[in-house]
Every structure is written in structure tokens, then in C-alpha cells.
Amino acid sequence: DAGITQSPRYKITETGRQVTLMCHQTWSHSYMFWYRQDLGHGLRLIYYSAAADITDKGEVPDGYVVSRSKTENFPLTLESATRSQTSVYFCASKSQDYTEAFFGQGTRLTVV
Amino acid sequence: KQEVTQIPAALSVPEGENLVLNCSFTDSAIYNLQWFRQDPGKGLTSLLLIQSSQREQTSGRLNASLDKSSGRSTLYIAASQPGDSATYLCAVRGGATNKLIFGTGTLLAVQP
């Protein structure tokens, strides 16, 4: 299917475990982003990538790791999950500087 | 640091009313501003993108305006319908990066 997809849609994990959230886009967009959405904080940027092998920190990067070996994939890894990382995670992509961003459906992560 | 504010936080109107949602930002040096819609438990759907050089954009019953100098954007919804009920988010792209900074949204309920 064309577009941007996230997997899994729902995930429950235990404190201290490593978990990876996947994001895949079929448009060959250059830019990709990871946001988390929490009540009272809105959407906050975790990491972003301008192209394959180029990543940079956003507003709340601590505890997260990203990689971008292929243009279409941008996985987000929580190295040792904590309860404070319970959130809804959104991946987004855009093609160039002055274009609109498109979002995936989100992954609801619960850390117990 | 760019801050984006949306007022009101929640709004309830009867069906058929015209309404205005507000978005303000503290740093007027933006590249563009994007309005999104988010349904409960869903991802973000892009509604309108306004470049910094534009004053407004229209799509169907939606009209978004941008006044960069005063740091404001409005989203006008004409003849509201129950299907318009959702959270509306604005996001600005500022600076040399492609990061989007989001407001906390306006929860709209259109009563039949």
C-alpha cells in the first residue's frame, strides 16, 4: 500500500526491555520524523532525518535511538524502556523543504 | 524558542455554524504553517499548508489565513457538520531545519 505505515499499532512492554517501532514510507521522501504525543504536551519531536544515514536530535531524544540505512525506513528504538515512555508515537515524512508533512497512524506504546 | 498556542482548547458548536480556530506563534520567522485534523485514536490528516509568502489557502469549506508579522493563523470552517468533530492542530516550520513545532490543539465538537 502506498503511504506511510507504522508497526506495530499497539505494543505493551516491560520496563527495561528494548523495543523497536517501525516506520515505512513508499514515496521516497527525503525527510522523516518521529514524534510522541502526550496529554498536556501535545506532539514533541524525538528525532528526524534529512536523508539516508543523516539523523539529528529533536526536542526529547533521551532514551531513544534511530537509524536510517534506507530512505524508506526509519525505525525508532527504545534501548531500555521506562514508564515515562508510555505514549503514542507518530512517524511522519515529507519530500522537500516547502512541502506538507504526512503522518502515519501511530503506535500506542505502554510500558508496564 | 518557537512556541505555538491554540485557543480555544475546546469548542462546541451546533451544526451549521461557521467557526474560527486560532493559532499563534512567537517567532514570526517561519517557512510555512500546516493545519491538521486528528480523529480519536487516529493519525494526523493534513488539511492545509500555507507558505510564509501566502496570505491564505482554501480547500472546500476550509479556509486558512496567515499573518506572519503578528504571529497568527486562523482556520475558518464554514457550515460546520458533525463529521467535522475532531482535534485540529496547527504546526509551524521555522528555521533552517524541517522540524514542525505543534500547538496543543483545539478539540471541536459539532452538535447535530
What local confidence, expressed as pLDDT, does residue B95 receive? 67
pLDDT of residue B103: 94
How confident is the model at residue A99, as a pLDDT? Answer: 83
pLDDT under 50 in chain B at which residues? none
**How distant is the Cα of B48 from the closest Cα of chain A, in angstroms?**
8
Grid cell listed for B71: 504571529
Is B100 within 8 Å of A45 when comparing Cβ atoms? yes
- How far, in Å, CA of B26 to CA of B5, rounded? 9
The shortest CB-CB distance from A103 to any of B43, B49, B99 is to B43
Q: CA of A102, closest CA in chain B: separation in Å?
A: 7
Cβ A45–B99 below 8 Å, yes or no? yes
The yes-or-no verdict on residue A97 having pLDDT over 90 is no
Considering only the beta carbons, identify the residue of B43, B46, B101 that sits closest to A104: B43
Tell me the count of A-B CB pairs closer than 8 A. 54
Could you give the CA distance from residue A19 to residue A79 in angstroms, rounded to a whole number? Answer: 7
Q: What DSSP assignment string belongs to B64-106?
A: EEEETTTTEEEEEE-S--GGG-EEEEEEEEESSS--EEE---E
CB A21 within 8 A of CB A76: yes
Residue B34: the pLDDT is 95
Query: Nearest 10 degrees: CA dihedral of B89, B93, B99, B104?
Result: -20
Is the predicted pLDDT of residue A59 greater than 80, yes or no?
yes
Give the three cell numbers for residue B5.
Answer: 498556542
Local confidence band at A41 (pLDDT 50, 70, 90 cut-offs):
confident
Residues in A touching B34 (Cβ below 8 Å): 100-101
| pLDDT tens profile A20-37 | 999 999 999 999 999 999
Interstrand relation of B86-94 and B100-102 (parallel, antiparallel or unpaired): antiparallel
- The confidence score (pLDDT) of residue B10 equals 95
